[in-house]
Amino acid sequence: MSERDQEVNLRQRLSGLSRLPLLRGARVDGEAKRLEEQLERLTADSSDEAIWHSVELARHPDRPYTLDYVARMVDDWVELHGDRGRADDGALVTGLGKLDGRTIALVGHQKGRDVKERLDRQFGMAYPEGYHKAMRIMEIAERFGFPLVSLVDTPGAYPGVAAEQHGQGGAIARSQAEMARLTVPTVACIIGEGGSGGAVAIAVSDRVLMQENAIYSVITPEGCAAILWRDAGEAKKAAAAFKPDALHCLDLGVVDGIVGEPPEGAQTDVDEAARLLKSALVEALDELDETPGEDLRRRRRAKFRGMGVFA
C-alpha cells in the first residue's frame, strides 16, 4: 500500500469513528504516522482519566493563547481596541488581518502569561465590555463581508460586582444574537477552556471546531463538584460525569470537527499547533465561501435550534 493509500484508508477509518469529519489539518505528505497515532488516541476509550487529562492540558500554563496563534497564522494583523462606550477589555482581543490571503475579523479570549498580564487580562474572563467590543467587530465583519473567526479560551465570563452592574447576562445574550444575525461565514474553535456562557457568547458559528485537548462545558468541574457533590475536590468525578472533552462534544453534535494537536498537547510545539489550526480554519472557510449569506444564517440558526436531546 502506498503512503497515500494508507493515509486515505486511515482517514476513512478516522471519519468512520464517531462520525468524525475528515481530520482537519491532515495533509497528504508524510502525515500517516501522525494520523495513526491520533487514531490510536481517539480509539482508546475516553476513560475518566483521559477526560481529566484533557482538562489539565486545556488549562496548561504553557498552552498557546489567541495571540500566540494570531502571531503565527494571521498576516497584517491590526488589533482593534475598546468598546466605544466604557473600556478596553484585555480578556477579549479583537482585530482584522489576513488569513491565507483573505481579510478576516477575529475575536478571541486572551489569558495572561505572567502574573501581571494575568491580572490585566482577568485570566481570560471578559467583562460585558469585552462582549460589546466583540459585537463591534462583528458589525464591521458584516458591513464589509469579512468572515468571522472566533478563538474560545475562557474559564467563563467575569463574575464580579461591576460586571453584573454593566449587564453581563445581557451582553452575552446579545453577542449570541448578533452572531445569529450575521450573513458572513463564521468559524469558531475552542482552543483551551470553553467555559459556559462566556465561551458560547462568541461561538454561535457556522462551524464550531475544537482542539483535541480542549474542553467545552456548562460549568467548571470544580463548580459542578461544589454544587452537586458539595466538595470542589471531587472535580475529577464531576468532569467524568459531564464529559467536557472534544470526543464527547463531537458525539453530542455540539462541535463539527476536531482539530489535531501535537502528540503531547499544543504547548509542546506551538508552531505545529498553529499550522494545524490554520489549515482547519482555512478548510472550514473554504467550505462556507460559496454559500449565500441568507443560507448561512438560516442553516446556522437551524443547526443551533436542533441541539439537545429530549423525548
Partner 1 sequence: MSADRIDVQVEHRHTPPPADKKHPNTCPKCGSHYRDDELAATLWVCGHCGHHFPMRARDRIAWYADPGSFQEEAADVRSEDPLDFFDLRPYSERLAEAELNTGQGEAIVTGQATLDGRPVELAVMDFAFMGGSMGSAVGEKFSRACDAAAARGTPLIAVPSSGGARMQEGILSLMQLPKTVCAVEDLHDARVPMVTVMSHPTTAGVLASFASLGDVTIAEPGALIAFTGPRVVQQTTREKLPDDFGLAEQNLRFGHLDAIVPRPEQREYLARVLRLFP
Handedness of CA 282, 303, 203, 39 (dihedral sign): negative
- Dihedral pair phi/psi, residue 242, rounded to 5°: -100, 0
Binding status of residue 115 toward partner 1 by CB under 8 A: no
Out of 85, 145, 169, 263, the residue judged to bind partner 1 by CB under 8 A: 169
Which conformational region is residue 19 in: left (phi greater than 0), alpha (psi within -120 to 50 degrees), or beta? Answer: left
Whichever of 57 and 203 has its CB closer to partner 1, that residue is 203
Question: Mask of contacts with partner 1, 39-78, x by CB under 8 A?
Answer: ----------------------------------------
DSSP code, position 33? H
Whichever of 80 and 296 has its CB closer to partner 1, that residue is 296
Contact between 174 and partner 1 by CB under 8 A: the answer reads: yes
For residue 46, the minimal CB distance to partner 1 (Å) is: 13
Q: Which of 157, 187, 276, 285 binds partner 1 (CB under 8 A)?
A: 157
Q: What is the 3-state secondary structure (H, E, C) of 88-147?
A: CCCCEEEEEEEECCEEEEEEEECCCCCHHHHHHCHHHCCCHHHHHHHHHHHHHHHHHCCC
Q: Up-side HSE of residue 186: CA atoms within 13 Å toward CB?
A: 32
Question: What whole-number distance in Å separates Cα of residue 132 and Cα of residue 302?
Answer: 25
Contacts with partner 1 in 198-237 (CB under 8 A)? Answer: 198-201, 203-204, 216-220, 222-224, 226-230, 232
Nearer to partner 1, 32 or 235 (CB): 235
Selected range binding partner 1 among 68-76, 101-109, 151-159, 277-285, rule: CB under 8 A: 151-159
Which residue reads 463538584 in cell numbers?
225
Rounded CA separation 24/259 (Å): 5
CB of 158 to partner 1, least distance (A): 8
123 binds partner 1 per the rule CB under 8 A:
yes
> Cell triple for residue 160?
464580579
* DSSP-derived 3-state class of residue 39: helix
Q: Which of residues 150, 168, 213, 279 is near partner 1 by CB under 8 A? A: 168
The binding site for partner 1 (CB under 8 A) comprises: 123, 125, 155-157, 159-161, 163-170, 172-174, 176-177, 180-181, 195-201, 203-204, 216-220, 222-224, 226-230, 232, 238, 241-244, 248-249, 252, 254, 300-301, 304-305, 307-311
